Amino acid sequence: MKTVSLRTADGRVVCEQCRLAENPLARMRGLLGRRGLESGEGLLLRPAPSVHTFFMRFAIDVVFLARDGEVLKVVPRLRPWRTTGARGAKAVVELASGEADRRGIHTGMRLDMTFSADPTSGPAAGHPPISA
């Protein structure tokens, strides 16, 4: 699975290791089976105007993004067995509970993605990641 780094417009990192879920199976699986998320770790689902936490074991912060990366809505500490969504959202970032507040993520700010190559596979194995 691809990994991205999410940063604010001024270059501040808000998620160092954000796994990218772009196909239906990866989005459906989401964080199921996980016991939690570490600080700096997250999941970026796209397209995704809404999410659920059915069958999850832990609370998460949910950040809804517009196509251009603008933060439309932040839902802190969404507990298991809940749903949430945001009109106009094209992507969702799921972070460890409390992480959005710790990283200063708020409505109206913009997050930019830097794609990382998987250093353990493919022709780029052993080479530095290339930003896209």
Give domain status of residue 126, yes or no. no
pLDDT, the chain, mean: 85
How far is 58 from 48, CA to CA, in rounded Å? 20
- pTM score over 0.95: no
Among the listed residues 76, 66, 82, 67, the one whose alpha carbon sits nearest the alpha carbon of residue 104: 76
Q: Domain containing 74 — which CATH number?
A: 2.60.120.1140
Exposed (0-12), middle (13-18) or buried (19+): which is 28, by Cβ within 10 Å?
A: exposed
Domain extent for 107: 3-116
Residue 128's pLDDT is 42
Residue 4: count of CB within 10 angstroms of its CB: 22
Per-10-residue mean pLDDT for the chain, 132 residues long? 88 92 76 79 92 92 96 97 96 95 96 70 42 39
Q: Does some domain include residue 121?
A: no
Specify if 15 maps to a domain.
yes
Residue 75 lies in a domain: yes
pLDDT for the residue numbered 78: 97
128 occurs within a structural domain: no
Number of domains within the chain? 1
